[in-house]
Amino acid sequence: MRSSVCTLNAAPGENYNMNFPDYGQTTAHHSCLLVLIRGIGPNKPRTLQKIFERIQKVNNVKIKDSSGQTRDIFIRYVREHAVENNEWGDFQTHRRLLGLITVGKFESQGELNELCRVHESLKVKYTSTLYDTRSILFAPSTNENDSNDDKIPLEKTSNGNDSTSNGFKLEDNEQQILIDNNLVLPTIFKSRGFFYVENNACHNLESRITDFIHSLFWILESKRLERTKEKFDKVSLLLAPFEKKDFVGLDMESRVNKKRIMGRVTKNLADLTLQCGLMSLEKSSPDSTTSSASSSESSNLASLSNLSSDNSGGSSNESDSKTTTPNESNKQQSMPSNILQPDEIAIKYREAIINYSKYRMAGIIETEAALKAARICIEQNQNLDVAMFLQNVLYINLNMNEQERVRRFETLTELYQQIGYHRKAAFCQRLAAWRHIAQSNTNPDWQASYRLMLESFRGHKLSLEPTEVLTNNQGWPCLQIDLLQQLVGTARRLGQSALATRHMTFLLQTQWKNLSENEQREMCLQLQSLSAQCEGSPVPLFLENGTVIPPANLTDLPYCLSYQLEQLPLHLRPFKIEANKVDCGPFLFTPIHFNSSIDRRTAETKKRDSKISFLWVQHAKSEVVVKFRNPLPFELQVNDMRLLTDGIVFESIPESVVVQANSLLSVSLFGTPLEVGDLELNGYSTHTLGVKSNCRLKHMLDDRSFPTNYKVNVISALPTIELKTSLPSSGSQSSGANVICTAKVSLYNGETKECEITITNTSNLLIEYMDIDLNSSVDGKTQKRMFMFDGNEIKENLPLEAGKSFILHLRIYGDADFIGALGTPIPPNFSSSSTQHHQTGDGPSSFSGVNLLISGTANSFPSRVNSPIKRNNEQTSSFRSSSTSGAVNSGHSSLATMSLAAMINNGNQLRAFEVLIKFRYSGGNGLIEGFCRECSIAFNVELLPSIQITSWDVLPAEVPSQFYLVLDVANLTQHEISLSYPNDKVILIEPKESCRVPVPVERCPLDQILADYKQQQLTSDEGSGNYSGTFNISEIDLPEKLCSEHIAELVNLKYHLSSLDINGNATLRGISLSSTMLDLVTVSPIQWEIKINKNSILPQSEITVSCGSPITIEINISNNQATTLNNLILSVQFYQDYQNGTQNYRLETRTCLSGPNHTLIPSLGKGENVSYEFSALFFTRGRFKVDIQCKNDPKIGRMPSSSSALPSVNNNDTHHVYKFIPSIEITVN
């Protein structure tokens, strides 16, 4: 075998080589008859191909010989056969051309003559070996000859002679064809012709070809029989063409030559025997290396005919017919004893090839032997032997043109592919592609070169599909890059700019990581230059041979770092309309998991298929944020970026950006879903470097964990609205994300302003549902007091048509806590027996970030139950005098003389906060599906201080049914305030000043209010089904709360800032009352009846007695309350009021009483009466007052009392004092 090019194969002086190797030849072809099929004249290729295919189907004919034995005769049809190859027929008989079949079509006598001439010239060309010929000729069709061959036989011609084809008798229908066309066969035509009408079915064609094979067989059989009868001493030496000059002048009678003659004749006879359908394993004597090698091939065929039934034989071209092969036929014959074993066949072929390699002129035979040996080893699955034989073919130096070299490499490629050596096959394909365009090739075939390079992808571990290359990540990058670059260059030479752009895009997409930075830059610039000629697009390209070039995309130019779907803006985001909670029974938990655990596990395994939790809305502009990195050293222009989607129709909005060199950039891509359903977002499309690319997430590999796609649900379209207010815009950014309108309003505490909100439907849908809600840091009740509107205005304007609008009137009230001391915060542990402040839901509100100073400073006023010790407090003294006398100063009390400005500066003068008015609205199919949108108006509210109740007290009034609520009112503004309070009284308060205002208030009927409250609670609890039999508020807090509400309801302070023309209302909501105050605020449970000298005394009646005359005073009390009063002490005390805030209770020298001045009443039930009578004597003249009071003392032994579910202000554990108001005034004369 050859390890290098053998020097013996150098080209000789004379050319005795065969023209070209028969690369399709197999071992089975040694037993086939060689027939040439040739088209002559002008013919349609399709018509010729159909005739050729029908002829090639007759590749096996069973013939009975003279002895009655059936012979299987095999025919090999070829389209081309060189005369030089025919000269090797003595050396190997299967190379002889035995038959010739020509096919032609004529329209006239001249064309018929030309066809006959060409046929006869071919006969002359191969006359040395040709046994018989046939010519199939098609005449033009006529109206009478359009049918098949089965016509009625013609009569004799007028001269009585039959038409003949130079000795061959024509059939009747053939004669008719010539007569109809006025044609005559030329005299030079010495062959048998078959005449048919054009487009005729030619039903008897196969039978005529079979007859032709019979004629060839009998001639060949006669040749074989002649050879068998020849005597060996008289036969001539059979020579190869290159040996003829070597035996000139030699002694042919020598022993060596006789041995050579005998061996070659025996081998020739064996070849004839195989062709005649007989098996022969005659062993010739080794006369020479060439004849020995040829004998080895013949013996190999005979052995294979018995051992194998898988050989392909018959014709040089593949046929679809299922015919018997030589191996299958000969297997039925008896097997000789000297048959070779399968492993010996390859050895014999190796020996034959070695012998062939010793002769320079046997290079083509050596090549064919190596290919035949390789095919046999392929059938025996001996891949290493196949590789060895094929490798030897590459080292054989043959004098061939470029086309034959290409064919050699293509044959090697095919054989390498059959054994799975795809890399070697790809190497041979590359060599063939180079030979097609070599400089020595006068007719370079760039198309064939391109096809071969494209077919070599598999051997280079490449695929036409870029994603497969990226996924598999196999092969040799340097070879792959080189192949792709050559492919780009070949496409450019072909003028296929689209293919060149596609392959360069493929190179960048699949080999980006294998390129250096300079190579990446150069390739990108080259792609930009190619795409300038033909723009790249993500569509398949179809070649003329049917090959489809899949699209290539620049997925990583620019490099995608993140792909994030964004929710809709908050004011356009869909929200589920909350339905009323349905009572599903008492069972809130079940241990049954159903398929939830399985679903969770399934969800984890399908984590890459991300289902987006939020929703998009039909016809709403949606956003996807993509973060890019430019890996190139120059800026990258990316045009026409769009989102890639599947599912429902989605309108993507193009975007163009420029990514700077080696930098990052985030891009927002927008689009609008036009239908309802599931939308799949698969990636994005780009147009960069002149190439349009579809960059899909599933193709973005590396360390990026993108899912295959993102799935988002698109719901039905929802309407949109526009909001405007009559107030000026705030101009500042709101804390609410769904705010589409802002407004600012500045109010004094207690002021009210009107605001108009214009609501416009800016969509094409009806607005059928709308709801309004408030949201701020302020508690809910305060919000409702500050912002008030009429819900009927919304209902009356629904449904709101497209483009229509309506106005919603909003009333904004500057709600504030007007009760509280200035500059004196309440300590956290503030508590007093006389002053308590309980903040409840209806009490004073607290705003975020604002400290409200609230103080119920009842101890700033004198207590009415203190001991009769003179108080030195000047304010209290002044307050007493003014209140007792019932006169109110028109200007200011003594409290106004204090430095109020200093007190104000310590407090908060401005409160600012934001209130969001949220609008929920919906309509159309979105409403049917239960979705709505939310948007808000942000009101920046600024509350300015107006008036403040800095302190308060409760004093008895002149009428028992009333009391005086004395208020210290401070003007916290920079303007003069006109304050109006009950009984149509008005007082002016200067800026930063304060005044004291007594307000008469009806006393609180606490028992009746408690009863009503209880009934209301019972009704509410029964309606909700949660009746518990207890109150929600403690018994201690409830009386104070009810009394506070009573005062807030009756007392309404109105103020007016004349300089600003601003009006406001100040409420006493949340005022705190001590237990002592509660005794005066509430209607007393004690019913008094006082008699002096048996005469009933009316309130404020004048009583005059004489000095030294005793008087009788009778006191009758009754309990009007539902509960029993325990441990009551009824006491009487005389005192003198000096009208200057001093009361004198030490009257031992001025009056005396008969009996004790107090008595103990253990228990006083409902409706019970107790009477107490005593006598008094005055020693001096003057004006005296009688302080009659009844108080309970819990320190005295407790008495059993009836229980009640109603809380009472008169709890036995609390010290209460009930006075007869007003005090009885007695004038002693």
CATH topology of domain 559-715: Immunoglobulin-like (2.60.40)
- Pairing of β 787-789 and β 805-813: antiparallel
Residue 748 host element (H or E): strand 739-748
CB distance 651 to 672 below 8 Å: yes
Q: Which amino acid is at 745?
A: V
pLDDT at 1200: 41
pLDDT at 297: 58
DSSP conformation class of 223: H
pLDDT at 336: 58
Q: What is the pLDDT of residues 512-542, one digit of tens each?
A: 999 999 999 999 999 999 999 999 998 999 9
pLDDT at 172: 65
In the three-class reduction of DSSP (H, G, I as helix; E, B as strand; rest coil), residue 877 is classed as helix
Residue 470 host element (H or E): helix 466-472
- Pairing of β 650-653 and β 664-673: antiparallel
- Cα 551 to chain centroid distance, Å, stands at 23
Q: How many Cα atoms within 13 Å fall on the side-chain side of residue 1064?
A: 29
Give the Cα separation of 558 and 560 in Å (integer): 6
Residue 963 host element (H or E): strand 962-971
- Report the side by side order of strands in the sheet with 994-1002: 947-956, 962-971, 994-1002
> Which stretches of the chain drop beneath a pLDDT of 70?
1-19, 142-169, 172, 232-233, 244, 246, 248-251, 279-338, 579-609, 734-736, 821-909, 1008-1037, 1194-1215
pLDDT at 209: 92
953-957, Cβ contacts within 8 angstroms, sequence gap of 24 or more: 953/858, 953/860, 953/861, 953/879, 953/1077, 954/858, 954/1073, 954/1077, 954/1080, 954/1081, 955/861, 955/864, 955/883, 955/998, 955/1080, 956/864, 956/1080, 956/1219, 956/1221, 956/1222, 957/1000, 957/1221
Residue 650 host element (H or E): strand 650-653
CB distance 398 to 21 below 8 Å: yes
Mutual angle of helices 342-356 and 289-307, in 10-degree steps: 160
Neighbours of 1214 (CB within 10 A): 15
pLDDT at 657: 94
| Contacts of 1203 by beta carbon, 8 Å cutoff, 6+ apart | none
Backbone angles phi, psi at 679, to 5 degrees: -115, 130
pLDDT at 161: 38
DSSP conformation class of 767: B
Residue 970 host element (H or E): strand 962-971
Based on DSSP, count helices (H) and strands (E) in the chain, helices before strands. Answer: 27, 48
pLDDT at 567: 92
With respect to CATH, is domain 1084-1228 assigned 2.60.40.10?
yes
Superfamily of domain 721-817+911-943: Immunoglobulins (2.60.40.10)
CB distance 353 to 292 below 8 Å: no
Give the Cα separation of 481 and 501 in Å (integer): 15
| Fold match between domain 559-715 and domain 1084-1228 | yes
Q: Which amino acid is at 571?
A: H
Name residue 78's beta-bridge partners: 36
Please tell me the total number of residues recorded for the chain in this structure: 1229
pLDDT at 1196: 59
Kindly list the domain boundaries of the chain, sorted by start residue: 559-715, 721-817+911-943, 858-906+958-1067, 1084-1228
